[in-house]
Structure 1
């Protein structure tokens, strides 16, 4: 087993453990000496792996993104770059900054041969088209409500500019080519609906969580819309 393979295997073993594991146990699983294991732990920690613990007690890999060198090939690197640059072009200010920061972090841990795919990709996102209509409510308000599973009261105008007030359960924020939409359960219609964010003039959390699990509700919506896990969809009319 090469050193690189051994380090990646050690990371994989630690990812599968929820509690600290002793050096003796890890060394036994990897069929290496404890002395070699201590060196490997030190090397991974120096590379940025969030490994915590000490000899005699055990080691645990804390949650968090860690991409060691050689983990991504050229195709995987270009797929990530394409996605992040797409978000950088089409996301709001918060997501655009997050995409740029994530790309910088990935570049910092890529192996030299993979860096060329990042700096000189063979794929590029197309232009963002005509741009998005301005939003009266920052998109981060919707994202936070989605994370909190919080009911939102919104002032909405449909395609004919007919105003209405809705109490919705926001499930996901969708980015289409020229519009952004919220997938939600609408209490007024007693059905799943999509709402264009640029047609929402006000949104306020009600201090109440909606029932059920968001993942289950989203799965039901996908099934009704006959969507796959990629979530491709066309906004409906309200």
Structure 2
């Protein structure tokens, strides 16, 4: 199936292509009409929801579609969510890199999730996205899409959600991604989104609340914040090497 947006970027009536709940959700992330149009985001007709499940759950009422560069692939945000499951992709497909706009020369930002990637692009960053903090891997191996970014002598800034700093398991994923990019030639930094009252904050939330990209503090992989993750990473790589032998 071709998941390309069923409208032109110049189409002025987004309400014709977006369910009111979906448009409100995009607005909550601070996304403008121009950004939504340029990314080709649209409400998936209900009859196509079944393409994202082996058996479409009756609880899913609607779906917001984020097309990828490969027109045969997309991810959807489901309404309402199925427990902790908020997004879906066609069964049997692996993780992909979300590249809504051409990657320009210079520093590249890696964001967690489609809406945050669009918010970063809207804020002027050269942004690409992964569906989740571990979604740069597929069956334990870095996804092929990472080859689409020339990391050699390029700065790469990973911008995870704010809760990773309190979650050793998530910080390991951030560090492992950073090491993968560094091994490909990038100079890697990790941005820290401020978090208050223990509530998780994503980049889109941060920007909507009035924060700016310039406000984000960044850390190199050699920071003491990654000391435990670095120790884990060495053991993880050793184990993977043994399994591959």
**Bigger radius of gyration among the two:** 1
Which structure: greater helix fraction? 1
Which range, TM-score by smaller chain? under 0.3
| Structure 2 length-normalised TM | 0.22
